Amino acid sequence: MGWTNTSVAAALLLLLLNAVTGANAQIPKLKVDLQSPASIKSAAKVVAANLMTYYRGDEPGQTPGILPGPPPGGDYYWWQAGAMWGTIIDYWYYTGDDTYNKEAIRSIVFQAEAPQNAFMPVNWTASLGNDDQAFWGMAAMSAAEVNFPNPAEDEPQYLALAQAVFNTQASRWETQHCNGGLRWQIPQHNGGYNYKNTIANVCFLNIAARLARYTSNDTYAQWAERTWDWSEGVGYIKPDFNIIDGAHVEANCTDLNPVQWSANAAILIHGAAIMYNYTKGEERWKRRVAGLLNRTVEHFFPDGIMVERPCELEDRVQCNVDQHSFKGYMHRALANVAIVAPFTRNDIVKVLRTSTTGAASSCLQDGTCGFRWNINDYDGDRNRGPAGQQMSALAALSTLLLDQDHVNKGPLTNSTGGTSLGDPTAGSNIREIEPLAPITTGDRGGAAIVTVIVLVSFVGSLGWMVGPWAES
Ligand SMILES: *[C@@H]1O[C@H](CO)[C@@H](O)[C@H](O)[C@H]1NC(C)=O
Ligand SMILES: *[C@@H]1O[C@H](CO)[C@@H](O)[C@H](O)[C@H]1NC(C)=O
Ligand SMILES: *[C@@H]1O[C@H](CO)[C@@H](O)[C@H](O)[C@H]1NC(C)=O
Ligand SMILES: *[C@@H]1O[C@H](CO)[C@@H](O)[C@H](O)[C@H]1NC(C)=O
Ligand SMILES: *[C@@H]1O[C@H](CO)[C@@H](O)[C@H](O)[C@H]1NC(C)=O
Ligand SMILES: *[C@@H]1O[C@H](CO)[C@@H](O)[C@H](O)[C@H]1NC(C)=O
């Protein structure tokens, strides 16, 4: 089902012919009727199968749980597979297709890495950001919220895994610079350790809010509040609800990087909507959710179809592999918001529908989908992370099935049937990757060398690739 050389060549030829002649491409498109749940399910199944052709972790000799990588060994950083399993969990929740469940369970357990079980595998230290860890943590949290089949009793459980991510991150909250916040990277020798970025902080807020709602333990909610207040105070959440990318500790977080990625807005609005629900509709959180939704729709859904604005320009796409996966997080987040903050439902369903129409129009019959959703055609974009755009199209199709009884009941909690077992102390005794001892002069040479070879993840992109990008 994936790209064979022949199909690539054929597709290229047809695209070329199309460009030259202006005739409609004859590549068969994916057929789907978005009014029909059965049709959405069968289209999603084809796109899911296509996505999973990029996953090799189930083959002999391969590492369970990961997509090929990290660069230069393959296209994908470790975090993206965490996001992929989250997408697969949602796919099962919305469609009932359990084809990939076993592999998802095995992957989450394996990459949690015993005995710490906190999604901090030694292998991926060189690209381990708080956001990377959190994408796996959010997948575990989703699994708990939807009663995804639990791992065996002697294996780590989803709720405890999310708590381990929360506990390790809460212990990294640092007030010495910028009066609080999480840094981007976890190991202090990683490039980007000096960046306090929005994604690390909104992921933490997201997990904290969901743990509060799931366990009814208000300590988590207080952390979500604190993280919102800090992010707003330091200027990452703007009064007009634009969400910017972050700033550096050397400048006490005053050198704001204004680029607006959809992933930041998506993870934040999801967390805010959960807080709205947890607080039984507090006005403060309602205002925040409404403001974020308004700005999100205006900014990221021009003409109702999602566009990753900093890098998806009218005349060219310069989004990297990470960014090719962002649209799916927005669709999944908004579907959750519609459910837990019902006052948003009509607006959200409307935009999910128009945007998914665009997503579906980017797909070919074999489930290959494009990155651009607003050209009513497959864009031929396959060099920078096809798995990411497959995840996005899959998320768009799946979440359009939100109008089902089990979904309308909302994410489960410990008191409404959620069966995942927790451990409030999970992750609290683990050894951090490096002690936060001051770097001595003797260490600096070594540190510099380590930094040079370090592979930055989620985003070298989020942090540094802002230069020539048009932003409005
Ligand atoms: C770490 O890498 C080794 C060597 O490739 C592999 O055997 C092991 O399964 C990996 N562990 C994780 C958690 O990916
Ligand atoms: C650093 O930033 C924080 C948060 O904006 C602020 O509260 C604090 O006063 C600043 N410290 C310095 C030394 O400027
Ligand atoms: C609530 O969560 C906090 C933070 O993890 C933890 O310290 C506390 O023990 C929890 N309370 C209960 C009753 O589980
Ligand atoms: C956002 O709010 C503004 C001002 O209230 C309003 O004019 C606009 O229509 C809203 N946009 C959306 C997409 O809801
Ligand atoms: C919280 O979510 C549930 C599930 O969707 C919903 O029934 C309830 O109305 C929500 N609470 C508020 C205050 O909107
Ligand atoms: C979850 O519910 C079970 C059964 O009602 C209870 O024993 C357990 O303490 C609860 N756990 C949390 C974290 O509240």
150 lines ligand 4 (CB under 6 A): no
Looking at residue 366, its pLDDT comes to 97
Q: Which atom of ligand 6 is nearest to the CA of 422?
A: 13
Distance, CA of 171 to CA of 308 (rounded, Å) = 33
> CB-based contacts of 124: which residues, under 8 Å, 6+ apart?
70, 78, 132
Determine the straight-line distance between the first and last CA of the chain, rounded to whole angstroms. Answer: 39
Looking at residue 129, its pLDDT comes to 97
Dihedral angle of Cα 372, 374, 375, 376, to the nearest 10 degrees = 110
Looking at residue 444, its pLDDT comes to 39
121 lines ligand 1 (CB under 6 A): yes
Distance between Cα 201 and ligand 2 center (Å): 18
Determine contact, residues 293/286, Cβ cutoff 8 Å.
no
Label residue 5 exposed, middle or buried (CB < 10 Å: 0-12, 13-18, 19+): exposed
Q: Which ligand is nearest to the CA of 214?
A: 6
Name the residue of 298, 305, 352 to mutate for ligand 4: max ligand atoms within 8 A of Cβ: 298
| 3-state secondary structure at position 197 | strand
- Residue nearest ligand 5's atom 7 by CA: 409
Name the residue of 146, 216, 277, 346 to mutate for ligand 5: max ligand atoms within 8 A of Cβ: 277
Q: Which ligand is nearest to the CA of 219?
A: 3
Q: Which ligand is nearest to the CA of 215?
A: 6
Please give the backbone phi and psi of residue 408, each rounded to the nearest 5 degrees, phi first: -60, -25
DSSP secondary structure letter of residue 126? G
- In DSSP terms, 29 is beta-bridged to 364
Q: Which ligand is nearest to the CA of 236?
A: 2
Distance, CA of 206 to CA of 214 (rounded, Å) = 12
- Residue nearest ligand 1's atom 6 by CA: 63
| Residue numbers in the chain where pLDDT is lower than 70 | 1-26, 433-472
Distance, CA of 27 to CA of 468 (rounded, Å) = 35
Distance between Cα 250 and ligand 5 center (Å): 42
Residue with tokens 């029909």: 36
- Residue nearest ligand 3's atom 13 by CA: 217
Name the residue of 174, 178, 226 to mutate for ligand 2: max ligand atoms within 8 A of Cβ: 178
Q: Which ligand is nearest to the CA of 109?
A: 1
**C-alpha separations of 70 from 61, 191, 200, 411 in Å:** 17, 16, 20, 32
Distance, CA of 126 to CA of 71 (rounded, Å) = 11
252 lines ligand 3 (CB under 6 A): no
> CB-based contacts of 266: which residues, under 8 Å, 6+ apart?
296, 326, 329, 330, 332, 333, 334
- Residue nearest ligand 4's atom 10 by CA: 294
> CB-based contacts of 277: which residues, under 8 Å, 6+ apart?
213, 340, 341, 410
**C-alpha separations of 20 from 16, 25, 89, 370 in Å:** 6, 11, 42, 20
Question: ∠182-180-293 over CA atoms, to 5°?
Answer: 70
Looking at residue 429, its pLDDT comes to 80
Determine contact, residues 117/164, Cβ cutoff 8 Å.
yes
Looking at residue 184, its pLDDT comes to 98
Amino acid identity for residue 453 in this structure: I
Q: Which ligand is nearest to the CA of 428?
A: 3
pTM for this entry: 0.90
- Residue nearest ligand 6's atom 3 by CA: 414
Give me the DSSP letters along 244-300.
--EEEGGGTT-S-B----HHHHHHHHHHHHHHHHHTTS-HHHHHHHHHHHHHHHHHH
Looking at residue 383, its pLDDT comes to 87
Give me the DSSP letters along 11-34.
HHHHHHHHHHH-PPP-SPBPP--T
Distance between Cα 294 and ligand 4 center (Å): 6
156 lines ligand 1 (CB under 6 A): no
Determine contact, residues 365/349, Cβ cutoff 8 Å.
no
Name the residue of 56, 58, 59, 63 to mutate for ligand 1: max ligand atoms within 8 A of Cβ: 63
DSSP secondary structure letter of residue 411? S
Give me the DSSP letters along 30-75.
PP--TT-HHHHHHHHHHHHHHHHTT--TTSTTSPTT--S-STTSSS
Distance between Cα 54 and ligand 1 center (Å): 18
